[in-house]
Structure 1
Amino acid sequence: MEPSRRELLLVSEELGEAEVAALKFLSREHIPLRKLEAIQKAQDFFDVLQEKGMIEGENRFFLMELLCRIRRIDLLESMLHTTRQNVERELQIPGRAKVSAYRYLLFQLSEDITEDDLRSFKFLLGEELPKCRLIPKTTMLDIFIEMEKKGILGEDNLSTLKKLCAEINISLLKTIEEYELKFGEEKMFVAEEEGGSTAGCEAPARCLESCVALDSPARQHQPSELESYKMSSRPCGVCLILNNHSFAKARERVPELRAMRDRNGTDVDAEALKRVFKGFHFTIAEYRDLTAEEIRKTVNIYRCEDHKDKDCFVCCILSHGKKGVIYGVDGQEVSIQELTTSFTGKNCCSLAGKPKVFFVQACQGDAYLEGVNIDTDSGEPDASVETDARFQLECIPAEADFLLGMATLQDYVSYRSTSEGTWYIQALCRHLENSSPLGQDILTILTAVNEEVSRRTCKPNSKQMPQPTFTLRKKLVFSVD
Structure 2
Amino acid sequence: MSTEFRKLLFEVSEALGTEELSALKFFSLDYVAKGTLEAIRDPKALFEVLQERCMIGAGNLFFLKELLYRIHRIDLLTAHLGSSREEMERELQVPGRAQVSDYRQLLYGIAEDLTSENVQKVKFLLQGPLQKSKLQENASMLQVFLEMEINEIIKEDNLTMLKDILQGFRADLKKKIDAYEGKKREKYSREEVRYPVSVSVYPEEQGAKQYGEIYKMENNPHGYCLIINNHIFKNRRHNREGTLQDGEAVKRVFKWLQFETVEYMDLEGKKIYDTVEEYSKKDHRNMDCFVCFIFSHGEKDKIKESDSSGHLEVDARPPTSIPDRADILIGMATVEDYFCYRSRSTGSVYIQSLCEKMELLCPQRMDLASILTEVNREVATKDIEGFKQMPKITSTLLKLLIFEVPQ
Which bin holds the TM-score, normalised by the shorter protein?
0.3 to 0.5
Greater Cα radius of gyration, structure 1 or 2: 1
When normalised by structure 1's length, the TM-score is 0.39
Tell me which of the two structures has the higher relative contact order, counting C-alpha pairs closer than 8 angstroms and 6 or more residues apart.
2
TM-score, with normalisation over the residues of structure 2? 0.46
